[in-house]
Chains A and B, each alone.
Chain A
């Protein structure tokens, strides 16, 4: 069935290094993707999004890359800091009716930053 999934469940990175979190999706009709960060005991926090008509978008220390050919999404975090330790979800924002969108999440990747 259609889903959004992640390649790796956990990722450990040395402080100061760059982190790359990957995500695969299967619905080629998806037109919008979002990365969320969720710290322990908190709700998901919006990080960055990208529309399907783009292949790259940059934010503050984060970059999202979209490869529609292989249905792959990645989140790059530059100069990873201890505060970046969290679970990261990619989510597909899919149109599900007139004026209505529904988020479909993957299982998440846990990023641990080693001081």
Chain B
């Protein structure tokens, strides 16, 4: 049973560029959430996708956008990269309609913006 997978593992970009990160949820899960984790901090919620739509969003600018595909996988896009976007980006999956909506995390993508 595959867990949550993310690609790439590491990425280096320069300011102003755009980046796309990818996530495949745990088998059987249909909901994907994205988090940003700065060094030494807890993960911060970016947004959540269910049924190919953004269901809720945290306090992040419109430069952060996403997509969910029919197979439940998801992408996170960040435009006009800033130095402050350097972080570990985590994807978590869960099953809508489950009792507690427990989220399981992938290994993350380390983004460095120079």
Q: A46 with B104: in contact, given A96-B56, A100-B55 (CB under 8 Å)?
A: yes
Taking the complex as formed, is A34 at the interface, i.e. its CB lies under 8 A from any CB of chain B? yes
Is the CB–CB distance between B102 and A34 below 8 Å? yes
**In the complex, chain B residues 78-114 whose Cβ is within 8 Å of any chain A Cβ:** 90, 92, 94, 96-97, 100-108, 110
Q: Number of A residues contacting the other chain (C-beta, 8 Å)?
A: 26
User: In the complex, which residues of chain A have a beta carbon less than 8 angstroms from the beta carbon of B103?
Assistant: 34, 93, 101, 103
Are A101 and B42 in touch, CB under 8 angstroms?
no
Contacts of B56 in A (CB 8 A): 96-97, 100, 102
B55–A49 touching, CB < 8 Å: no
* B48 sits at the interface (CB 8 A): yes
Cα–Cα, bound, A32→B108 (Å): 24
Q: How far is the CA of A42 from the CA of B90 in the complex (A)?
A: 10
CB < 8 Å neighbour of B100 from A32, A89, A104, A108: A32
Q: Bound complex: CA of A42 vs CA of B107, how far in Å?
A: 5
User: Whole-angstrom distance between the alpha carbons of A32 and B90 in the complex?
Assistant: 21
Number of interface residues of B (CB under 8 A): 30
Q: Is the CB of A105 within 8 A of B100?
A: no
Q: Which residues in window 18-77 of B have CB below 8 A to A?
A: 33, 35, 40-45, 48, 50, 55-56, 58
The chain A residue with its CB closest to the CB of B94 is A101
8 new A-B contacts at CB < 8 Å, known A89-B42, A101-B101, A104-B45: A42-B108, A43-B106, A43-B108, A46-B104, A89-B43, A91-B42, A99-B96, A103-B35
List chain B positions with a Cβ less than 8 A from chain A: 4, 6, 33, 35, 40-45, 48, 50, 55-56, 58, 90, 92, 94, 96-97, 100-108, 110
Q: Measuring CB to CB, which residues of chain A are less than 8 angstroms from any residue of chain B?
A: 32, 34, 36, 41-46, 49, 51, 89, 91, 93, 96-97, 99-108
A-B contact pairs, 22 of them (CB 8 A): A32-B100, A34-B102, A42-B107, A42-B108, A43-B90, A43-B106, A43-B107, A44-B43, A44-B90, A49-B100, A51-B100, A89-B42, A89-B43, A93-B101, A93-B102, A96-B56, A99-B50, A101-B94, A101-B103, A102-B48, A104-B45, A107-B41
